[in-house]
Structure formats: structure tokens, C-alpha cells
Amino acid sequence: MRACLGWALRGGLLGGLAFMIFGPLANLVLWAVAIQWYFPYRLPLTWGFKYWGEVFKPTSDTVAALGTSVLIASITVVICLMLAIPAGYALGRGRLPGRRLILLILLLPQAFPNIAIYFNIARLFYAVGLNGTIAGVVLVHAVHGLVIAVWIAAAAFAAIDLELELAARNIGASSLRAALTVTLPLAMPGLIASAIFVFLESLDEFTGTFFVGVPDITTLPLVMFTASLAGNYQIAAITALVLLVPSVGFMLLIERFLKAEALAKIG
């Protein structure tokens, strides 16, 4: 009897949790295939893929925005890695003078609510002509992603055994060569993870692009936002699903790279 009650409770709670987690996602999927849906109908009145046609026609805003988003995200990843790898190496390995201060400065973008920073950056960019350009948006995304990238890179480098690099130097490699050919490849999995994080953060970034990119640069989140506020829930839902594909895909992939225990160590 107690066992049955226990299972009922467990089932109920887990079922409730599943509903709360998947319900909103299911609602999204429903709107993606709905054509007409008014209250008080519980399900859409007419179904179909009409809006998919509208969203994916070659001249649509969405396809252009997708291209822009992917372009911006790719460049952001490149820039972040170029900056984060040396910084992570120095922080994770070297005896850095003022390490605490540097870590603090690098951590600032995550420690402060950054919306006010964004509209001030926009003002700054207006003055130098960077507002509304791809370069401007990339810079904003890169600053945001830099923190994660450096964090993960530092952890990745710190986890590599110093002995391996010293062994390489012992047989005559210069320190730079040892770093590049021994340490860097070993840190690869962590660096790839950070690249993926930065890519996703940039792809999904909304607030910064809202201030710095509008009106010339349109990314996928902005298209989704405009469609949603305009009441175009079908288009918003389809665009959201497009945004979700890389996110969910990488979530399944990332299980391989980041175990929960490793994340706990970083904290």
C-alpha cells in the first residue's frame, strides 16, 4: 500500500515536472503548425505548413537573418578563441602577477546586469560609426562570450599535467612550440566546448543586438521578437524552432564534453 502511494506520488510529481518542462515547448510546436487558433478552442482550428513556406521563401527576412546570425556567431567564436586561448593559458598555467585582479576584471561582464552597458556601448558606437554594423554586433557578442571562453579555457589548461609540457621542453622544444604542439591539443575538448558555448550565446543573443544592431542588422532572435510582438505567433514559433535546433543538438553533444562534476569544480 505504501509502495503504491509512493509510486503515485513519484509519478505525479515527475509527471507534473514533465508537463511544466515540455508543455511550453509543445505549445511552441503547436503554433508552428497552426494556421488559425482562437479562444476558446483548445487546439488550432486549421493546421498546415503555410507559414513555413512564408518563413523559408528565399526573399524572406528570416532566411537573411539566419545567415546574419550564423555569420556573426562564427566571427564571434573566432575572435573569442583568439583572445581566450592565450589568456586562458596564462591564467591556467603561468604564475601571473595580479592574477586575482585580472580574474576579477574578466569576470565583470557576468557580474553586472549588462543591459545598461549595452545602450551605452550603442552610444559609443554611434560616435565611431560602428552602430548598426556587423563588426559592432560581433564586438558586443565577443565581450559577452569572452568571460565564458576564458573561464573554460583556463580550467582546461589548468587540468593538463605540467610534466607533459616540460618533457617536450626537455627534448629541445621551445616553450612556444611545446605549448602549441603538446598543451593545446590536449586542451582541445575543453576549447571546443567553450567554442560551442560562445557560438550558442551569440546565436541566441538578443539584448545587445537590440541596442547596437537595430535597424540595419537583423538577427534571428530579433526577427522572432518582432514577429511575436506583432502577434505573428506562427512565424515566431517557427523561427524559435530554428533557433532551438543548434541549441538542443549541442546540448546532446555536450554531455560528452562536460560532466556535472567538472562544472562543480569550476564553481
Partner 1 sequence: MQRTAVLFAALAALALSLPATAQKAVTLNVVTAGDQNMVDYLKDYLGPMFEKEHPGVTVKAVGTGPGDAGSQKIYEKLEAEKANPAWDIDVAVIHQKAAGEMVGKGLLARYSAEIPTGKLVTSEAAKNALGSDVGGYVMPMFNSQTAIAYNTAMVSDPPATYDALEKWVRVNPKKFGYNGIKGGMSGVSFVVGWIYAHSPDTDRLIKGPYDPDTKKSWVPILAELAAFNKNVVLTPGNAGTLDMLNRGEIAMGPVWVDMFYTWQSDGKIPPGVKLKLIGPGMPGQPMYYVVPTKAANAKLAEDFIALATSPKVQADGIVKRFNWYPGIDTAAVKPQLDEASWSKLFVDVTPEDLATKGKPFPLAPYFNDILESYERKVQ
Partner 2 sequence: MRAERSNLGDCRLGILLLVAPALAMVLALFVYPLGMSLVSAFTAKDGKPTLENFAKAFALYGLDIVFTLVIVTVSTVLIGLLTAAIGGYLVLGAHPVAVAVLKSLYRWPLFIPFIVAAQCMRTFLAKNGIMNNTLAALGLVDVGSLSGLLDWRGIIVTFVWKETPFVALLVSGAMAALDRATIEAAANLGAGGLRILVEIILPQVAGVMLVGLVLAFVTMLSVLSVPIMISGGSPTMITVDMAFRVNSYSDYGVANALGFVSYAMAGLAAWVYLRRSVAHGSPL
Q: Which of residues 12-51 bind partner 2 (CB under 8 A)?
A: 14, 17-28, 30-31, 37-42
Strands 46-47 and 34-36: antiparallel
Q: Is residue 254 part of the contact set for partner 1 (CB under 8 A)? A: no
CA distance 254 to 257: 5
Quote the least distance from Cβ 136 to partner 1, whole Å. 11
Quote the least distance from Cβ 38 to partner 1, whole Å. 5
Quote the least distance from Cβ 126 to partner 1, whole Å. 4
With contact defined as beta carbons under 8 Å apart, do 47 and 35 qualify? Answer: yes
Nearer to partner 2, 59 or 217 (CB): 217
A 10 A CB-CB count for 152 gives: 27
With contact defined as beta carbons under 8 Å apart, do 91 and 154 qualify? Answer: yes
Residue of 2, 231, 245, 256 interacting with partner 1 (CB under 8 A): 231
With contact defined as beta carbons under 8 Å apart, do 257 and 192 qualify? Answer: yes
Q: Is residue 207 part of the contact set for partner 1 (CB under 8 A)? A: no
Size of the site for partner 2 (CB under 8 A): 98
Binding mask 1-40 vs partner 1 (x if CB under 8 A, - otherwise)? Answer: -----------------------------------xxxxx
With contact defined as beta carbons under 8 Å apart, do 46 and 36 qualify? Answer: yes
Nearer to partner 2, 5 or 59 (CB): 5
Sign of CA dihedral 28, 29, 34, 38: negative
